[in-house]
Structure 1
Amino acid sequence: MLWTSTMELNSSYDIEHSHSTQRIQHELWPLDPIDPKKAKFPCCLVWNPLPVVSWLAPFIGHIGICKEDGAVLDFSGSYILSVDDFAFGPVARYLQLDRRQCCFPPNLSAHTCKHGYQHSEYGTAITWDDALQSSSRYFENKTHNLFTCNCHSFVANCLNRLCYGGSMSWNMVSVGALILFKGSWVDFRSVIRAFLPFVVVVCIGVLMVGWPFLLGLLSFSLLLMGWFLVGTYLVKNLLECQMLF
């Protein structure tokens, strides 16, 4: 009898959990198509080149994350969260993310990720926009700094609240790599806008200084990458904005 009761309870729980999961998935209504002309990129990461910095290191730029209606949200300055006003010009690259890879638990027992308790403790979200709003409130009290607390920190915070891809370890480096290796260019003009200044700087530098300029440029890029790698993986408190609290 006890075994039968246990089986019935498990069966009842499975049915209830299945209904709950179906309800959550049902709330993921279809998104509007991506429309670069109207600057609408639903549930996308978006990127564009930074003045001066991208001229020297074109793999570094400004990044934002978009709401379900396609509006771009980005941490563009100290205590400033811009909505539908992407800093430094139009979007050059984008990557649409799959909301089905997020964890939207209505309660503690409905987590679809492996970090149920930690996810609840750090702050879960029941929708995509809810996570972005929570991260926005957090970053409204943050001072922007290119080296310790920047736009990549904000996007990483959003992805951690979503537990995107089952991970709560998103950081500046992983966010940058995601858009760098998987992002799509909006058009050919975006490619020109991203790399032409770098090519011009290299040509001028080589003509005026010679080949040692390339060595200096390479050293600058390596130092910049080294800073973020060390700050992210070795001295974790250094880049405190990546944390959820």
Structure 2
Amino acid sequence: MTSLEDDTKQDSQTELQDQQRLSDGQEANAEEAYQEPETLSDFLERENGNKDRFPFGIVWNAIPVISWLVPILGHVGICDSQGRIWDFQKTDKVGINHMQYGRPMKIWRYYPKQKPPKNAELEEAEQQENLIYESRAIPVQWDKAIETASQAFIHRKMSWTKCNSWHHVCECLNDYQTEVKYTPRKLLWTFAKKGSWPSFPMALTVYLPPVILILFILILVFFIQILRTMV
């Protein structure tokens, strides 16, 4: 049985209420039949770490035991323009909103928030770069790529090496753009370089277990060496 599941009922109810209010508003304002789509910058301003909403972000969290041994490895998901997390969780299932293994612990913002200009007169290159934040097509294209890839993955069998959450995010990014061809390995290293921790304690929870494990092994080896010298 295949599934594309949204585990947050409250968000669904809120969306239905928003749709109802929108419908009522359209009836009351028949002249405003067309509503302009929102820009990229509008969506980016809705980032909310408390609710795990990171529009246009790739998010990561640790897998028990595996991430303790190799902290760079873990489970990834991709956020749509609304900030909802889509992640390939198991065979025939892509989850929405509720990420497997818990809350996201590291984020790569594919489109970071727009930085305010340092002065009124911007160079031509900076002006061109800022134009992207006014795009109304990017959110639509981004969401379409995520949905298309996710619909394909709900018919795929989970495999730790050949078909996992990293493959899902790669397909989403490759469907969205063609400049860079992402593979799980390329995505892993890109995420390692560009990803950021929401807080220091969050990073500590990832790196502390392997440090403790290494220290335990070193202490164990040390005592074994002492026992051998005493025999």
- Whether TM-score is above 0.5 comes out as yes
Local SS of the residue matching 2:42: coil
Partner of 1:151: 165
Percent of paired sites with the same residue:
26
Deviations 1:104-136 (A, max 9, x none): 99xxxxxxxxxxxxxxxxxxx952111100000
- Give the partner amino acid of 1:140: I
Q: TM-score, normalised by structure 1?
A: 0.61
TM-superposed deviation, 1:146: 1.4
Matches of 1:210 and 1:178, distance apart in 2:
38
Partner of 1:118: none
Gaps of 5+ in 1: 1-24, 106-124, 212-245
Tell me, yes or no, if structure 1 residue 162 matches structure 2 residue 176: yes
Q: 2:95 aligns with which of 82, 98, 102?
A: 82
Matches of 1:131 and 1:54, distance apart in 2:
29
Matches of 1:26 and 1:85, distance apart in 2:
25
TM-superposed deviation, 1:208: 2.6
Deviations 1:151-201 (A, max 9, x none): 11000000100116x22x211011111211111101112101111111121
Q: List aligned pairs for 1:171-210, cutoff 5 A.
A: 171-209=183-221
TM-superposed deviation, 1:137: 0.5
Task: Say which structure, 1 or 2, has more relative contact order (CA 8 Å, 6+ apart).
Answer: 2
Partner of 1:44: 57
- Give the partner amino acid of 1:142: R
TM-superposed deviation, 1:26: 7.3
Higher relative helix content: 1
Matches of 2:74 and 2:52, distance apart in 1:
18
Q: TM-score, normalised by structure 2?
A: 0.65
Gaps of 5+ in 2: 1-36, 113-131, 224-231
TM-superposed deviation, 1:36: 1.3
